Chain A
């Protein structure tokens, strides 16, 4: 049990909490501190997780709420290790990039705090050993992503993009929670290691399809699979370091990580095969086509990310070891070239002042080094040898061949339509090649567009992360065995649950995969050449509604109908409200009386011998009651303020006697307190109200209101009378008996508030907090206008 595992997610989280008040560090100190903490976390992680390199998982557990199955269980195996290195490694590069990209007068403490919070949350997702804990960190990544996308909060596009991402990933998070609860409830545990050991048993559960379906919805929303992919292009309103970190390398991979984690349990089911492969393939094609349609550089990259994520998802869906190996390898490669491409897009934006293809072009004369770097990264993405992207593309092709599909669930598919999956794969690669060419040629070659700024080479510090990543792409391409193979081997072994010894090499001989590569590359080049003219224009929108438009319609429709409904019954007039509330009460009471649960009504229960009332002399009570009635009528009928207020106060005070009659001394105290304070408050407020008397109300309305009031009064009396006639058994015995042993408190009333009716108190506290926030907002708004 290595408790030091907990440090991995906790350390960046602590830093995130401290950073908002560390503004004095300045735009140089903040990234330095963040980078230092990230490096320390990386070193600690490597040291603690060292056994994972040789295939042994490291775990640590602290019980948190064992009754519900939620424990602080952390697990680091090969898969976690791969993601840890990705999150922390690319995180360091992103911090270094952000140091040069963001201008010093941005709200940097908030930026770095959100970034560190995200890093901590993502680390938590990949090291969580308990499904519920994973969901907690999952939601945390959604929230920190929201904060980061909406960082430039004056920009309406950033606000709506952040909002959109939060809603979509939030709904997915809910679905994920539901699926996890179903799974854990049916299997009896939330512990991932325990679940993985019982794979066959879980697959046989009747609740398995429901749980799996919900979990897949969660994974698909986070990883921008069709039809939930539309939030990712909108999220491009975020600053480029955020796009490079979250929306290419880490957060969108969380869904894929979940798929990899649950692979051993679910990959052998038909639902998994058809759903995951199907949605993955569709996403790959939709994303690829989308990348050819837009003129914004970042949007192209967003759609290409969607497409590549679809590719990885499809591979995990196939359910074979070769496919899992290809997917895991591609996770690493995609992170490297995509982060490099996003940072390059940021550099181009920074230097030339635009991200639009209509204004770019011919940049290779001004940014020669960037041309090479982007060329390498784009070539890796297209799958051109001898880069790392080529190797994982080859593995992808091989995994779709019928020969390798033989031992998968989809073997029947492989037998009846053996060409389907390879064709889809080649189609995806065609699109990829086309948009990679569009990216490189449209930006760096061709006629020079009208640049808003004169571009020159970026500072070395801004270029360094891109150079590092491009070097990585080349290095893995030439020496895969040295650099990537051990890591991928242990990661894939963790995914499939058995030892895997892949052999990653550039040249596997002349085989169908190589042929498919050639077909894909040439077809892609042809496609690009055919659409060359439209590289600078955007395609018109396709027919039918996109998912993004459906989302807009749904959200706006919901808001509009809510507004319409609310304005219907929130009229702002007290009479409407009281009529509605009391009217409903009357209807309910009448319904009950009709169904004769009235003790006095049908069967004659005699008056109980001892009614729970104090023996106050009858005469006094009669007079008191009449006085109350009189005062109430004064309040209702007089049209001037002071008599009404005084009569109201009087009614309140006299009701206290009534409570004394009913043997409720604490109510007497409360009533007197509240009445006095309310009277003083009313008098205070009266100062601000206009000095006019009430208008004379129409006679008919007065009579109707009077009749209604009489009805309510009679019903209330009838209810109380009926309750008094029931045999009286107090609930206090249960509470008094259990208060000390069960809840640990001597004062029963306090224990009721805090323990027996704890959720009620929680609701009240929540309402009070919301009211306080509202008051705070109003006061601040008032202060701002004066």
Chain B
């Protein structure tokens, strides 16, 4: 039962990532693309967590924490670069 649920969830997350990727190809402005990448990172996070649940292991949770912290930093850095052109004052 759990296996089925996790399969469906992972499939859904992958589909969501693909749709965001479409936004990455298409997005007329750079901001659209940036948001697409950020959303994909969050989806990836969720994907890894569901994978851990499915495999009944905790080895991927370190990666999850790292991704959560650093993806946000990357997004903020790119946003700052887009607005001001430099990210270190």
A interface vs B, CB < 8 Å? Answer: 614-617, 619-621, 623-624, 626-627, 630-631, 634, 642-643, 645-647, 649-650, 653-654, 656-657, 660, 665, 668-669, 672-673, 676-677, 679-680, 683-684, 686-687
Contact = CB atoms under 8 A, between A and B. Distances in A.
A626 B81 contact: no
Contact of A643 (B11, B33, B59, B86): B33
Given A617-B7, A668-B63, A669-B62, A660 B48 contact: yes
A189 to B, nearest CB: 53
Contacts of A626: 18
A677 B70 contact: yes
B11 A683 contact: no
Nearest to A624: B14
Given A616-B10, A684-B87, A687-B81, A623 B66 contact: no
Interface in B12-46: 13-15, 17-18, 21, 24-25, 30, 33-34, 36-37, 40-41, 44
Nearest to B70: A676
For the complex, would chain B's binding face be called helix, strand, loop or mixed by DSSP majority?
Answer: helix
Nearest to A643: B33
A610 to B, nearest CB: 15
A624 B17 contact: yes
A672 B70 contact: yes
Given A684-B87, A687-B81, A656 B14 contact: no
- A-B pairs with the 9 shortest C-beta distances? A676-B70, A665-B59, A623-B14, A620-B14, A617-B7, A620-B10, A669-B63, A668-B63, A642-B30
A191 B86 CA distance: 66
Contact of B66 (A620, A646, A672, A679): A672
A623 B11 CA distance: 8
Nearest to A661: B51
16 contacts: A619-B14, A624-B14, A627-B18, A646-B33, A646-B36, A650-B40, A653-B44, A656-B44, A656-B67, A660-B51, A668-B60, A668-B63, A679-B78, A680-B74, A680-B87, A683-B87
Contacts of A665: 59-60, 62-63
Interface in B67-83: 67, 70-71, 73-74, 77-78, 81-82
Given A642-B33, A676-B74, A687-B86, A657 B66 contact: no
Nearest to B84: A687
A745 to B, nearest CB: 22
Contact of B47 (A614, A642, A650, A657): A657
B70 A673 contact: yes
A619 B13 CA distance: 11
A687 B85 contact: yes
Contact of B24 (A647, A656, A657, A668): A647
Contacts of B2: none
Nearest to A679: B74
B39 to A, nearest CB: 11
B1 interface: no
Nearest to B8: A617
B44 A654 contact: yes
Contacts of A645: 78
B66 A673 contact: yes
B interface, how many residues as a size bin?
A: 35 or more
A656 B55 contact: no
Contacts of A631: 21, 24
Contacts of A642: 30, 33-34, 82
A563 B13 CA distance: 55
Given A653-B44, A660-B51, A669-B62, A617 B74 contact: no
Contacts of A627: 14, 17-18, 21
Given A614-B51, A643-B24, A654-B44, A620 B73 contact: no
A578 to B, nearest CB: 24
A452 B15 CA distance: 92
Contacts of B13: 620
Given A619-B11, A656-B67, A680-B73, 17 more contacts: A617-B11, A620-B10, A620-B47, A624-B17, A631-B21, A642-B30, A643-B33, A646-B37, A653-B67, A657-B47, A657-B48, A665-B62, A679-B77, A680-B74, A683-B78, A686-B81, A687-B81
A669 B66 contact: yes
A653 B71 CA distance: 10
A336 B7 CA distance: 93
Contact of B44 (A630, A657, A669, A684): A657
Contacts of A634: 24-25
Contacts of B54: 615
Contacts of A649: 37, 74
Contacts of B51: 614, 616, 660
A79 to B, nearest CB: 66
B77 to A, nearest CB: 5
Contacts of A687: 81, 85-87
Interface centre among B36, B71, B85 (most CB of A within 10 A): B71
Nearest to A660: B51
Contacts of B78: 645-646, 679, 683
Nearest to B71: A676
Nearest to A687: B86
B35 to A, nearest CB: 10
Contacts of B60: 660, 665, 668
Nearest to B21: A627
A669 B40 CA distance: 17
Nearest to B48: A660
Interface centre among B6, B30, B71, B78 (most CB of A within 10 A): B78
A680 B77 contact: yes
A619 B12 CA distance: 10
Contacts of B47: 620, 657
Contacts of A616: 10, 51
A653 B40 contact: yes
Contacts of B14: 619-621, 623-624, 627
A684 B78 CA distance: 9
B22 to A, nearest CB: 8
B63 A617 contact: no
Contacts of B40: 650, 653-654
Contacts of B70: 672-673, 676-677
A191 B40 CA distance: 69
Nearest to A623: B14
Given A616-B10, A680-B77, A684-B88, A672 B15 contact: no
Contacts of A624: 14, 17
A210 B55 CA distance: 65
A620 B7 CA distance: 8
Contacts of B24: 631, 634, 643, 646-647, 650
Nearest to B33: A646
A672 B41 CA distance: 10
A683 B77 contact: yes
Contacts of B10: 616-617, 620
A535 B82 CA distance: 80
Nearest to B79: A683
A616 B51 CA distance: 8
B37 A620 contact: no
B87 A623 contact: no
B7 to A, nearest CB: 4
Contacts of B18: 623, 626-627
